[in-house]
Amino acid sequence: VRGVASDTAGRGRRANLRLLTRALFAVSLTALVAIIVRLRGSGGTPPHRGGWRELSATDLEPADKP
């Protein structure tokens, strides 16, 4: 009886360990995917034509509507 009980307890510990390992694996995988999703991606393309021009005080003033 003692042998059967010891065997059952051992199987229980192994099952718990397996569950913990799987949970850790799942969490690690999720974290890895989250990091990849968060960091990768393309931002777009820069403008190929045109450019920035400084506005003078006179450029700025007439644009106001009354």
Partner 1 sequence: VRAVLVGLGAVGARCARQLLSSGSVRELVVFARHPSRVEGQAAALGGSGAVRLEELSASAFARSLGPASVVVLAANGAGLSLVTASLAAGVPLVSVSDDPAEVRSLLGLHDAAVGHGLALAVGAGMAPGLSCLLAAWAASTLDEMSEVHVATLGTGGPACAKRRHAALREPLEEWRDGTWVRRVASSGRELVWFPGQTGADCYRVNRPDVLLLQRAFPTLSWATTRAAASRRDRLTSWLPMLRRPHPEGTVGAVRVEVRGRRSQAAESVLVGATGRPALLAGAVAAAVAVRAAAGQLTAGAGGLASLVPSPGDLLAELSQRGVKIMTFERAGPVPAW
Least gap, CB of 43 to partner 1 (angstroms): 3
* Contacting partner 1 within 5-64 (CB under 8 A): 35, 38-39, 41-47, 49-64
Distance from C-alpha of 40 to C-alpha of 37, rounded to nearest angstrom: 6
Distance from C-alpha of 48 to C-alpha of 24, rounded to nearest angstrom: 48
Least gap, CB of 23 to partner 1 (angstroms): 22
Distance from C-alpha of 29 to C-alpha of 17, rounded to nearest angstrom: 18
Nearer to partner 1, 3 or 64 (CB): 64
Distance from C-alpha of 8 to C-alpha of 27, rounded to nearest angstrom: 29
Binding site for partner 1 (CB under 8 A): 35, 38-39, 41-47, 49-65
